[in-house]
């Protein structure tokens, strides 16, 4: 907001700038010299007309009153009939009459010199004679009103003379202007070029100003007809047109020169135009500053202007001239009123109004200088800068307002788009929040109806309690919306009484304690036992505290949530603080708006619900005549503080206290009752079955009720259910075992179901781990987004239990088939003993039969063991003992050792007592690959090392060789499922099976010439 002092300083600075520009214009751009005339003689013999330019002929002129001397063929009356008068100035005597002014100008008498004379406006007619010849006139002079023609325009005359004395005679007649007769402006003498240029410059300045004003008039008309038809545009157009006409009747009187307008109509146009400027200016400013004045006063002023204009059209001119003072007062009113209103508007905070104040000041400044020019400084020519500055200021205000309006329009459009987005989000959230309990109710009922003949009264009672609780939850979701509507319509009545804050806080903390289970969060009640009671509706106070504590628990992962209370000045200050994620400024600004759930990056994806809690909380506090505020910074927690009036009464003795009744006896919002019940009912019990016979399903949902429902629905099938409350927890659980299916809700905090699907697809292909998404949104674009994220199937809530079980069965059967295919592929690959290996082994046996029969018999025995192990049915199982796999590896290496002898060195680093199970045919293909494609590619052979390192809950299997190694592209191609089929089939199969079982596959370390190391991790068997 601009202070009065600052506005005055700005205005003074602006006027000083205008003054500086005007003075520069006067003294440097349009200078004039003065020649003092004495006794009707101006001596210019020592003056250089070419360099001095314009010379104002001021001083004593010979005046012959009531004589038109040039009508007597130039014969001068006797000297006794003449007087000396000052020019500029009035003649002596009555205003009406006629006379002749005579001046002798002494020059050097240059025959080549061209002279010029500029005659100003002379009321009401004039004729210029030089050396006896008429060179110019305005109207016609005469000795009576009937003999003369009034016309008041300036004119110039250009002539040549070789005389040393130039006689100038100006005959004047006035029978209309009651202000007086005479020559009121200076007659300017000089060389012809300077006089012509001065006259042309004055005319062009007026035309230029009119062109500038015409541009303003044009765009106002264009905007009016092309856009919204605002009356302000018409007012501005009228103001500009009147300003153009006033410019054309000033100085050079171009309008009177261009058109045959007589003297009477020139007066009438003058009066009407200036009234038009005043009236349109008042209307325009009233439009720009609505509410700045009274409409009745504006209508009265407009009426006066219209009435005066009509009078100017029809009344005699001499009547109008008698009312000049009234005319001046009327046209000055807008400048005074608008200046005051604009000044007040600026000081009240409307900064843009400073442009209006500057524009009005520029016009007023121009009027003051006009009076100075008319009274004391007639040599001053036409000056357009003040009017240009004024209209630029007015246009600046309008354009500033237009730009601000456009900006506000864009903001409103953006707000409407945001409101539309919030509406869509609200509808989606409402659908989700209503479909979730509906989904739970339908499936709980379905599981009760299809109990497969097993009657468990305890379980059925728990399910029925959960069913009732979920139904209440759905009801209360709708009640939240009704509460918001009632608050907006002020239809909530409070049951005010003295309430014990400490007891209520303790009870509400117990309500939200279930939300902190599994989190390292401490709930602290710091309200003193002797804290005075407050005036409140206890049920609504519980609702306020619960909303704040629920919000704190939702966004706090560790630390504490505390409630403090203090009182001062008859008000209780209750503060709920936490060490949660905090919030940024954008979030704080919209925090208490309905349906808002935060816009900052910290809150992105971390919210659920309808976004009504804090809005309802704020309105309930205000109903208690209190206030609520929040202080928070990102990653530094938040503190909500609300006030309530201290009660003058004590809490009734029969009121239930915290010591007498547990917290659950307090009024608890039912939505929390069923949520807590759902969490308590959804214990961590898992169905204990043989993992080899059942499918492992990971269920991910932030709603404990939904987790419980899915567990109940799938409990009758042969599934082992593991639950996760969010996507991050699910990602961590994935690596603990082999999973057959992931069932995930789409709308979850922190990580949505879509994001979880994409994260899973980075580790598992679509056939390796199926994903079933559940959501309350069933639009085609939502389903498409689910499949693009990597989901195998998509179900819309509420889900029919039979359909859900059918989909789950299909997906788990598909996963089982894929797993079996991998094992069969591994067994088939092992069974496909390559002909050259078989031929080479038989050749070795044949050779040893002639050289060493003992070695031959041993080789035959080992070869038999190798064949039996290769075709062992246990190779079709998911896992086998480590000993079984190592026996196959030893048989293979013994055969290759007998064949290559010293070219193959084998080193074992294995603890034989380790209890470990591994996927069948997982180590042998790696060893065979190292021998065939690594060591044997070198002429001198090399060494292979089999090493198993035992850790606490897992073991690391390493196959190392010092063979030829491989480059990076080859290494990537070996494990690429889309790579060629000529090599690496065994490695890819092993890699996929390890991922299925342990969540991670093979890791290959190799470089050309440096050998290769292949590593994989296996979980230790639990006994």
**What CATH number is given to the structural domain containing 411?**
1.10.287.130
Residue 686, domain member (yes or no): no
In which residue are the tokens 């063991």 written? 865
Query: How far is Cα 353 from Cα 911, in angstroms, rounded to an integer?
Result: 91
β-bridge mates for residue 105, sequence order? 42, 166
- Closest to 997 (Cα-Cα) out of 587, 561, 696: 696
- Closest to 121 (Cα-Cα) out of 101, 158, 151: 151
pLDDT at 655: 41
pLDDT surpasses 90 at 736: no
Same domain? For 772 and 879 the reply is: no
pLDDT at 473: 53
> Mean pLDDT over all residues of the chain?
79
87-106 in b/e burial notation, b at 16+ Cβ within 10 A? bbeebeeebbbbbbbbbbbb
pLDDT surpasses 70 at 886: yes
435: CB partners within 8 A, 6+ apart: 776, 797, 798
Same domain? For 45 and 190 the reply is: yes
Same domain? For 344 and 473 the reply is: no
pLDDT at 602: 41
* 587: containing domain: 496-598+609-645
Residue 4, domain member (yes or no): no
Q: How many CB atoms lie within 10 A of CB 823?
A: 19
Torsion of CA 405, 410, 413, 415, to 10 degrees: -100
- The model's confidence at residue 575, banded by pLDDT at 50, 70 and 90, is very high
pTM above 0.75, yes or no: no
Q: Are 686 and 417 in contact (CB under 8 A)?
A: no
Same domain? For 168 and 232 the reply is: no
pLDDT surpasses 90 at 48: no
- Closest to 914 (Cα-Cα) out of 960, 949, 946: 949
- The model's confidence at residue 141, banded by pLDDT at 50, 70 and 90, is very high
Q: Which of 491, 516, 548 is the last residue of a domain?
A: 491
Of the ranges 57-71, 316-330, 609-623, which one carries the lowest mean pLDDT score?
609-623
Q: Are 438 and 328 in contact (CB under 8 A)?
A: no
Q: Are 906 and 897 in contact (CB under 8 A)?
A: yes
- The model's confidence at residue 688, banded by pLDDT at 50, 70 and 90, is very low
DSSP state of 514: G
Same domain? For 1015 and 911 the reply is: yes
Sign (positive/negative) of CA torsion 974, 978, 982, 986? positive
Same domain? For 253 and 390 the reply is: yes
Same domain? For 398 and 543 the reply is: no
Residue, of 210 and 654, whose pLDDT is higher: 210
Mean pLDDT of 385-406: 80
Task: Give 3-state DSSP helix, strand, coil % of the chain, rounded to 5.
Answer: 50, 20, 30
Provide the token pair at 856.
């031959």
pLDDT digits (tens, 9 = 90+) for 123-132: 889 999 999 8
Residue 699, domain member (yes or no): no
Q: Which of 137, 170, 194 is the last residue of a domain?
A: 194
Same domain? For 641 and 507 the reply is: yes
pLDDT surpasses 90 at 157: yes
Residue 750, domain member (yes or no): yes
Of the ranges 77-81, 341-345, 668-672, 957-961, which one carries the lowest mean pLDDT score?
668-672
CATH number of the domain at 800, please.
3.40.50.2300
Residue 603, domain member (yes or no): no
Mean pLDDT of 386-395: 81
pLDDT at 851: 76
Residues composing the chain: 1023
Q: Where are the alpha helices (DSSP H) in 639-765?
A: 670-681, 704-714, 727-734, 753-761
pLDDT digits (tens, 9 = 90+) for 943-987: 999 998 888 888 889 999 988 888 888 887 777 765 544 455 567
Mean pLDDT of 57-62: 92
Give the neighbor-by-neighbor strand order of the sheet with 1003-1006. 904-909, 942-950, 954-961, 1012-1019, 1003-1006
pLDDT at 605: 42
Q: Are 577 and 558 in contact (CB under 8 A)?
A: no
pLDDT surpasses 70 at 231: yes
pLDDT at 451: 59
Distance of CA 834 to the CA centre of its chain: 68
Of the ranges 205-214, 455-464, 621-630, 821-830, which one carries the lowest mean pLDDT score?
821-830
Q: DSSP string of 446-489? A: HHHHT-TT---HHHHHHHHHHHHHHHHHHHHHHHHHHHHHHHHT
- The model's confidence at residue 678, banded by pLDDT at 50, 70 and 90, is very low
Q: Which of 466, 491, 516 is the last residue of a domain?
A: 491
Residue 14, domain member (yes or no): no
Classified as helix, coil or strand, 155 is: strand
Residue 669: half-sphere exposure toward Cβ, Cα within 13 Å: 25
Q: Are 321 and 179 in contact (CB under 8 A)?
A: yes
Host H or E run for residue 862? helix 853-870
pLDDT at 510: 72
- Closest to 607 (Cα-Cα) out of 556, 555, 534, 664: 555
Q: How many CB atoms lie within 10 A of CB 976?
A: 12
Report the range out of 211-225, 420-434, 766-780 with the highest average pLDDT. Answer: 211-225
Provide the token pair at 862.
């080992």
Same domain? For 385 and 347 the reply is: yes
Query: How far is Cα 280 from Cα 215, in angstroms, rounded to an integer?
Result: 18
pLDDT at 689: 42
Classified as helix, coil or strand, 271 is: helix
Same domain? For 720 and 822 the reply is: yes
Of the ranges 112-116, 445-449, 877-881, 994-998, which one carries the lowest mean pLDDT score?
445-449
Of the ranges 604-613, 616-625, 902-911, which one carries the lowest mean pLDDT score?
604-613
pLDDT surpasses 80 at 212: yes
Residue 379, domain member (yes or no): yes
CATH number of the domain at 622, please.
3.30.565.10
Residue 663, domain member (yes or no): no
Same domain? For 462 and 564 the reply is: no
Residue, of 834 and 578, whose pLDDT is higher: 578
pLDDT surpasses 50 at 659: no
Q: How many CB atoms lie within 10 A of CB 415?
A: 11
Same domain? For 510 and 461 the reply is: no
Mean pLDDT of 279-298: 77
570: CB partners within 8 A, 6+ apart: 645, 646
- The model's confidence at residue 672, banded by pLDDT at 50, 70 and 90, is very low
Overall domain count for the chain: 6
Of the ranges 252-261, 313-322, 677-686, 769-778, which one carries the lowest mean pLDDT score?
677-686
């Amino acid at each position: 907001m601009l202070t009065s002092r600052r506005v005055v300083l700005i205005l003074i600075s602006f006027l000083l700038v205008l003054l500086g520009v005007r003075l520069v214009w006067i003294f440097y751009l349009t200078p004039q010299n003065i020649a003092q005339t004495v006794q009707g003689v101006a001596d210019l013999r020592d003056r250089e007309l070419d360099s001095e330019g314009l010379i104002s002929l001021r001083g004593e002129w010979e005046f012959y009153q009531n004589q038109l001397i040039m009508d007597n063929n130039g014969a001068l009356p006797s000297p006794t009939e003449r007087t000396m008068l000052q020019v500029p100035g009035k003649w002596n005597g009555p205003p009406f009459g006629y006379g002749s002014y005579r001046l002798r100008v002494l020059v050097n008498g240059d025959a080549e010199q061209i002279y010029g004379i500029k005659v100003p406006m002379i009321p009401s007619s004039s004729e210029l004679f030089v050396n006896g010849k008429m060179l110019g006139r305005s109207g016609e002079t005469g000795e009576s009103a009937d003999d003369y023609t009034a016309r008041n325009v300036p004119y110039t005359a250009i002539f040549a003379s070789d005389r040393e004395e130039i006689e100038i005679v100006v005959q004047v007649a006035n029978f209309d202007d009651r202000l007086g007769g005479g020559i009121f402006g200076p007659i300017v003498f000089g060389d012809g070029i300077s006089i012509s240029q001065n006259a042309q410059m004055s005319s062009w300045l007026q035309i230029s100003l009119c062109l500038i004003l015409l541009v303003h008039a044009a765009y106002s008309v264009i905007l009016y007809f092309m856009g919204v038809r605002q009356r302000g545009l018409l007012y501005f157009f009228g103001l500009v047109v009147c300003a153009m006409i006033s410019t054309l009747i000033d100085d050079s009187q171009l309008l009177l020169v261009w058109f045959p307008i007589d003297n009477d109509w020139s007066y009438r146009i003058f009066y009407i135009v200036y009234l038009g400027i005043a009236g349109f200016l008042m209307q325009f400013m009233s439009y720009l500053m609505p509410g700045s004045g009274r409409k009745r006063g504006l209508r009265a002023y407009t009426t006066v202007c219209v009435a005066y204009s009509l009078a100017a059209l029809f009344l005699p001119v001499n009547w109008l001239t008698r009312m000049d003072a009234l005319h001046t007062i009327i046209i000055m009113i807008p400048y005074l009123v608008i200046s005051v209103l604009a000044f007040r508007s600026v000081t009240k905070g409307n900064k843009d109004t400073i442009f209006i104040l500057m524009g009005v000041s520029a016009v007023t400044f121009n009027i003051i200088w006009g009076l100075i020019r008319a009274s004391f400084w007639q040599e001053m020519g036409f000056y357009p800068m003040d009017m240009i500055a004024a209209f630029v200021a007015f246009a600046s205000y309008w354009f500033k307002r237009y730009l601000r309006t456009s900006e506000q329009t864009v903001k409103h459009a953006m707000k409407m788009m945001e409101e539309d987005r919030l509406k869509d989000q609200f509808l989606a959230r409402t659908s989700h929040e209503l479909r979730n309990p509906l989904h739970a109710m339908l499936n709980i009922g379905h599981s009760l109806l299809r109990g497969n003949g097993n009657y468990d009264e305890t379980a059925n009672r728990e399910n029925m309690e959960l069913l009732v609780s979920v139904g209440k939850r759905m009801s209360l979701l709708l009640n939240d919306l009704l509460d918001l509507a009632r608050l907006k319509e002020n239809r909530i009545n409070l049951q005010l009484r003295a309430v014990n804050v400490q007891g209520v806080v303790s009870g509400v903390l117990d309500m939200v304690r279930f939300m902190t289970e599994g989190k390292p969060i401490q709930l602290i009640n710091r309200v003193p036992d002797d804290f005075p009671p407050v005036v409140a509706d206890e049920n609504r106070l519980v609702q306020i505290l619960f909303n704040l504590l629920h919000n704190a628990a939702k966004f706090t992962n560790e630390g504490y949530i505390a409630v403090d209370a203090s009182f001062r000045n008859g008000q209780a200050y209750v503060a709920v603080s936490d060490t949660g994620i905090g919030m940024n400024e954008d979030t704080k600004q919209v925090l208490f708006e309905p349906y808002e759930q935060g816009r900052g990056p910290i809150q992105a994806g971390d919210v659920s619900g309808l976004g009504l809690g804090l809005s309802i909380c704020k309105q309930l506090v205000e109903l208690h005549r209190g206030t609520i505020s929040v202080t928070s910074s990102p990653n530094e927690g938040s503190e909500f503080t609300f006030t309530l009036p201290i009660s003058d009464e004590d809490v009734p003795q029969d009121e239930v206290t915290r010591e007498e009744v547990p917290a659950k006896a307090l009024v608890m919002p039912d939505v929390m009752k069923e949520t807590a019940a759902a969490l308590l009912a959804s214990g961590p019990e898992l169905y204990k079955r043989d993992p080899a016979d059942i499918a492992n399903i990971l269920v991910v949902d932030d709603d404990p009720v939904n987790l419980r429902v899915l567990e109940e629905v799938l409990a009758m099938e042969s599934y082992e259910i593991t639950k996760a409350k969010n996507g991050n927890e699910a990602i961590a659980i994935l690596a603990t075992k082999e999973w057959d299916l992931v069932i995930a809700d789409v709308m979850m905090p922190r990580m949505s179901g879509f994001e979880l699907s994409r994260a899973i697809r980075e580790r598992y292909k679509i056939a390796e781990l199926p994903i079933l998404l559940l959501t309350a949104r069933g639009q085609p674009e939502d389903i498409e987004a689910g499949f693009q994220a990597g989901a195998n199937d998509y179900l819309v809530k509420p889900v029919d239990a039979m359909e859900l079980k059918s989909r789950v069965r299909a997906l788990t059967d598909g996963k089982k088939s894929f797993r079996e295919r991998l094992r069969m592929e591994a067994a088939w690959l092992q069974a496909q003993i390559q002909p050259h290996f078989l031929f080479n082994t038989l050749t070795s046996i044949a050779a040893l039969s002639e050289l060493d029969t003992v070695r031959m018999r041993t080789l035959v025995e080992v070869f038999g063991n190798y064949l039996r192990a290769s075709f062992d049915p246990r190779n079709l199982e998911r896992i086998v003992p480590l000993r079984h796999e190592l026996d196959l590896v030893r048989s293979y290496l013994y055969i290759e050792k007998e064949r290559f002898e010293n070219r193959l060195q084998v080193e074992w680093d294995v603890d034989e007592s380790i209890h470990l199970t591994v996927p069948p045919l997982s180590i042998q293909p790696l060893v065979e690959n190292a021998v065939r494609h690594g060591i044997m590619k070198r002429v001198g052979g090399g060494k292979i090392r089999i090493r198993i390192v035992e850790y606490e809950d897992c073991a690391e299997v390493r196959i190392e060789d010092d063979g030829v190694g491989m480059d990076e592209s080859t290494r990537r191609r070996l494990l690429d499922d889309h790579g060629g089929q000529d090599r690496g089939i065994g490695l890819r199969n092993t890699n996929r099976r390890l991922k299925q079982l342990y969540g991670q596959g093979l890791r290959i370390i190799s470089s050309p010439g440096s050998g290769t190391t292949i590593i994989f991790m296996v979980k230790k068997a639990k006994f």
